[in-house]
Amino acid sequence: MKITKICCIGAGYVGGPTMAIIAQKCPQIQVTVVDLNEERIAAWNHTDVSQIPIYEPGLSEIVAEARGCNLFFSTNVEKAIDEAQMIFISVNTPTKTYGKGKGMAADLKFIELCARQIAKVAKDNKIVVEKSTLPVRTAEAIKSILDNTGNGVKFQILSNPEFLAEGTAVQDLLHPDRILIGGDITEEGQKAIQALVDVYANWVPLERILTTNVWSSELSKLTANAFLAQRISSINAMSELCEKTGADVNEVAKAIGMDSRIGSKFLKASVGFGGSCFQKDILNLVYIAKSYGLNEVADYWEQVIIMNDHQKRRFSDNIVKTLYNTVSGKKIAFLGWAFKKDTNDTRESAAIYVADDLISENATIAVYDPKVVRKKVLADLDYLETRTTEANSNSILSFETPYEACEGAHAIAILTEWDEFVAYDWQKIYDSMQKPAFVFDGRNILDKTVLQKIGFVYQAVGS
Ligand SMILES: NC(=O)c1ccc[n+]([C@@H]2O[C@H](COP(=O)([O-])OP(=O)(O)OC[C@H]3O[C@@H](n4cnc5c(N)ncnc54)[C@H](O)[C@@H]3O)[C@@H](O)[C@H]2O)c1
Ligand SMILES: O=c1ccn([C@@H]2O[C@H](COP(=O)(O)OP(=O)(O)O[C@H]3O[C@H](CO)[C@@H](O)[C@H](O)[C@H]3O)[C@@H](O)[C@H]2O)c(=O)[nH]1
């Protein structure tokens, strides 16, 4: 089957960039990305392409090239479903906040809504691709809805999890380590798999396109995230031990990373991992394991989250302790609010939790992040429901430049590893601060020797 029309439901951090690359690499395919969120679609269609809703290096250029040619953003979900032969579901699958599985299981209500809408609208056979990260065996539920509520047309469900990381989405999509496609072992299933393979084969070498059964594909996504997050919690656990023993976590990471069996990636100690995926996906994995009665498996993976929470709390506790056991009335400058560099995404950013702890100790937080606006910072804090919106707003100062954020501050906390932070005039910053001037480097990006020479009291994670 030759695919000429693709629809993607969900114009978020995955749907937008993924479809932009498919459109760029497959000029013969018309790609329509739809979303219920009108504001988001309007932003994707903004005449000034720098205003698209997601910041990713290189993305706006690709959108500018393909948009209006074979890449379209629309709120007309039904029309796009009707016209497409292949429909990607790329909607959010957050942790449940209510009912059974609250705080652990993935909330599949948006997925089910998509399945019901596809069933209602489809008048001819369609391939439905799970792009969202889903619990293992979700394809079964989608198939049941499609087969029982549809118009008698035939659906093939494929699992095609996305492995891009934010901040490097464009490069990850252009040069993926692998593309994973899970499908039925039936003849029809294999044809559907081949149709999707043919799409990716426009730019991905065939040896990097892996096909499996649906359940392996669904579970591989959760497994990959669990393994990646586990490495960060493992090195963060060692960072605490390094601080007690005089070892340096950067040196330990380098030493173990040179063992080719361990590898050097994802061994950067930090204030704790954030992002919309790691915590959500591990909690989901823990919930699935528990639901099969696999308590030891569940406990094993839950420890990754427990360690990460500990790391964030340890960072804020240390700030309070070092500032003579009180931050009340003190100005703490936050450099960075995003969960990592090169993205405007703040979901589950460690900065939110560290700020929340410090505000509870009556500190004032002065935030500077090159890509995150004040509205987002306040919304993130309000989401925790620790205090009123007004109290959060009174405790957060936002600045357009780092120098203003740091002026008069008692301490600086580095929460995101933005490259520009390294290049600042640290002498100028020091001169404008209260003394002693503290720097708590939650990303280990600054040069300790240089900062100490200027006069800062400098503390990094894990040394
Ligand atoms: N963010 C990442 O880096 C990343 C990477 C790999 C996988 N994932 C997974 O991909 C999925 C999407 O993540 P995201 O970060 O793009 O989420 P997101 O919240 O940025 O985007 C999801 C979009 O789906 C829309 N939506 C929800 N229900 C809809 C419906 N019924 N019809 C139309 N639109 C609807 C929302 O309005 C939203 O704009 C999740 O399952 C996530 O776990 C995310
Ligand atoms: O050595 C490291 C590596 C990362 N981090 C932090 O871990 C978090 C997640 O980083 P990263 O994995 O690079 O970004 P995500 O966009 O969350 O990507 C992850 O989650 C996505 C969503 O499922 C997957 O597709 C990706 O493969 C997976 O890397 C961030 O807060 C990072 O700062 C560290 O603290 N130390």
pLDDT tens-digit map of 113-138? 999 999 999 999 999 999 999 999 99
- Residue 240 confidence class, pLDDT cut points 50, 70, 90: very high
- Quick check: 341 pLDDT over 90? yes
* Residue with token string 């919304």: 379
Instruction: Estimate to the nearest angstrom the gap between the alpha carbon of 320 and the chain centroid.
Output: 29
Q: Do the domain assignments include residue 232?
A: yes
* Residue with token string 């393994």: 227
What is the residue with the minimal CA distance to atom 11 of ligand 1?
A: 132
- Residue 290 confidence class, pLDDT cut points 50, 70, 90: very high
C-alpha of residue 143 to centroid of ligand 1, in Å? 20
CATH number for the domain spanning 326: value is 3.40.50.720
Active-site residue flag, 400? no
d(CA 338, CA 33): 25
- Quick check: 142 pLDDT over 90? yes
The string of DSSP letters for 389-430 reads HHHHHHHEEE-SSHHHHHTT-SEEEE-S--GGGTTS-HHHHH
- Residue 248 confidence class, pLDDT cut points 50, 70, 90: very high
Same domain, 373 and 268: yes
In this prediction the pTM is 0.97
CA end-to-end span of the chain, whole Å?
A: 58
Q: Do the domain assignments include residue 209?
A: no
Residues near ligand 2 with C-beta < 6 Å? 133, 162-166, 225, 228, 232, 266-268, 270, 273-275, 277-278, 339-340
Q: Do the domain assignments include residue 56?
A: yes
Burial of 317 (0-12, 13-18, 19+ CB in 10 A): middle
Same domain, 139 and 268: no
Task: Please report the atom of ligand 1 found closest to the CA of residue 16.
Answer: 16
Catalytic residue among 162, 218, 302, 348: 162
Q: What is the ipTM of this complex?
A: 0.98
Ligand 1, from 13, 170, 339: best to mutate by most atoms within 8 Å of Cβ?
Answer: 13
Residue where a domain stops, chosen among 183, 204, 225: 204
Q: How many domains does the chain have?
A: 2
Residue where a domain stops, chosen among 152, 169, 204: 204
Task: Please report the atom of ligand 2 found closest to the CA of residue 343.
Answer: 16
Catalytic residue among 221, 268, 312, 341: 221
Q: At what angle do helices 278-291 and 214-245 cross, to 10 degrees?
A: 120
Mean pLDDT, rounded, of the chain: 97
Q: Do the domain assignments include residue 304?
A: yes
Active-site residue flag, 7? no
Same domain, 181 and 267: no
Same domain, 304 and 155: no
Same domain, 359 and 325: yes
Same domain, 99 and 158: yes
Q: In sequence order, which ranges of 203-342 are alpha helices (DSSP H)?
A: 214-245, 249-257, 278-291, 295-322
C-alpha of residue 12 to centroid of ligand 1, in Å? 5
Same domain, 78 and 199: yes
Same domain, 221 and 285: yes
- Quick check: 256 pLDDT over 90? yes
- Residue 151 confidence class, pLDDT cut points 50, 70, 90: confident
Q: Is there an atom of ligand 1 within 6 Å of 284 CB? A: no
> Looking at residue 1, what is its pLDDT?
83
Residue range(s) defining the domain that contains residue 141: 5-204
Same domain, 176 and 284: no
C-alpha of residue 67 to centroid of ligand 2, in Å? 29
The ligand minimizing its distance to the Cα of 133 is: 1
Residue where a domain stops, chosen among 151, 169, 204: 204
Q: Do the domain assignments include residue 184?
A: yes
Same domain, 383 and 311: yes
Same domain, 222 and 355: yes
